[in-house]
Amino acid sequence: MSDPLNNSYYAATAQKWQSGEFAGDLSFDVAVIGGGFTGLSAALACAERGFSVILIEREHIGFGASGRNGGQLIPGLRWSASELEAEFGRDRADALFDLCWRGNRVAARIAKHSIDCDLKSGHLEAAWTPKDFGAMRREADYLAKRFGYESDVVAKADMPNHIASPLYHGGIYDPHGGHFHPLNYAIGLAQAAEAAGVCIWEDQRAYEVTDTADGLGVITDCAHITARYVIDASDSWIGQIEPDLGRYTVPIMNYNIATVPLAGADELLPSDAAVADSRFVLNYFRLSADKRLIFGGGERYSQTPPRDIAAFVRPFMAQVFPQIADARIDYGWGGAVAVTMNRLPHIGRRGNVFFAHGFSGHGALVTTLAGELIAEAMAGTAERFDVLANLPSRPFPGGKWLRQPLATLGLLYYALKDRLG
């Protein structure tokens, strides 16, 4: 079966890119495993700090979730700011808010390196139920009073200013959020990293990280790489390299479609904001630069994609936008999202091996930040890195064979509650 990314709108409209080729025994200060946002950001930030860096990617830059996601830039983490304060206290909440809400490192990188990735501002969280809208209003009020973080509360009557759908009971418009072409952003980071001196090597699988007399070793298809530090940013595939870390996440399959360019696209989303709704199995959608509707809906807990991705996602799109229920769909693709038990990222350090994974579908912004914080810690300043590394994490129960089935049962339970209201 062909890779679902082969029919991705992003792959079809990506900028040209080709990495270098290397061979033999290689030695660097830093070896990065994984060519997604986290690995690319870390590699670039390490090179900017004077480290010699090699990045290896099993497939190609942006192959995983970084190049397949919905393109939504949502400030924060999967937990709300009020939940973080209730759980961790005021001081830790302040530190997490400053990192994950205030500093948009994606926009900063795009501006610094002139990355052409269709960046647009504005994100709308749409309330599936009146109860959801009430919770959103309370959170918006908390953010404004506690942090001075302003967003717009959108009453149900005003939702047509943002979305031509009768389904939603209001929402929160966040001007600090936005959307972009994620694969072109990944390629732009790769180009910036290469210009900074990073050696990028695609089509190279990392099999394991070992201790050597000279530091750490990474064994690949064509080389043995020696490095002082290793950054494992392989996300959904981290368990293949470091099985113990793989216990902290399970993969969930998400699917997206892109319609043909729509003559009435601006009528569907008048404010041109990205939208994600409040259901447990959420819908998320936005307009591309060429006025296609990019729509993600439904998820599966099996690794086998549906035979027809477009047919799988279309009913979710038609429920939100019945006026384009029969629109032609040009692209349908999907990929795995690594999810932790508590939906907070799992970031840390074991000796000279750094890792960051499990962003749980909320990583388009925080992955760039995580990569930069790893470089910061590697250079000797770990205070901000520790803010994320100290987030609680637990491995999924069930061991190698039962971890995925047990996690699936839990996710299905919440998905059923979602459908029953």
The string of pLDDT tens digits covering residues 115-171 is 999 999 999 999 999 999 999 999 999 999 999 999 999 999 999 999 999 999 999
**What is the pLDDT, as a whole number, of residue 413?**
43
CA 408 – CA 396 distance, rounded (Å): 11
Instruction: Provide the whole-model pTM.
Output: 0.94
pLDDT-derived band at 410, boundaries 50, 70, 90: low
pLDDT-derived band at 1, boundaries 50, 70, 90: very low
Is domain 4-68+184-248+341-397 annotated with CATH 3.50.50.60? yes
Question: 37-48 and 182-195 are packed helices; what angle lies between their axes, rounded to 10 degrees?
Answer: 20
- Domain regions of the chain by residue span: 4-68+184-248+341-397
Other residues' Cβ atoms within 10 Å of the Cβ of residue 210: 12
Nearest to 227 by CA among 211, 216, 241: 216
**Cβ distance 313 to 256 under 8 Å?**
yes
Please give the single-letter amino acid code of residue 176.
H
CA 332 – CA 310 distance, rounded (Å): 5
Phi and psi angles of residue 309, each rounded to the nearest 5 degrees, phi first: -65, -40
Please give the single-letter amino acid code of residue 410.
G
Q: Count Cα neighbours of 376 within 13 Å in the Cβ-side half-sphere.
A: 16
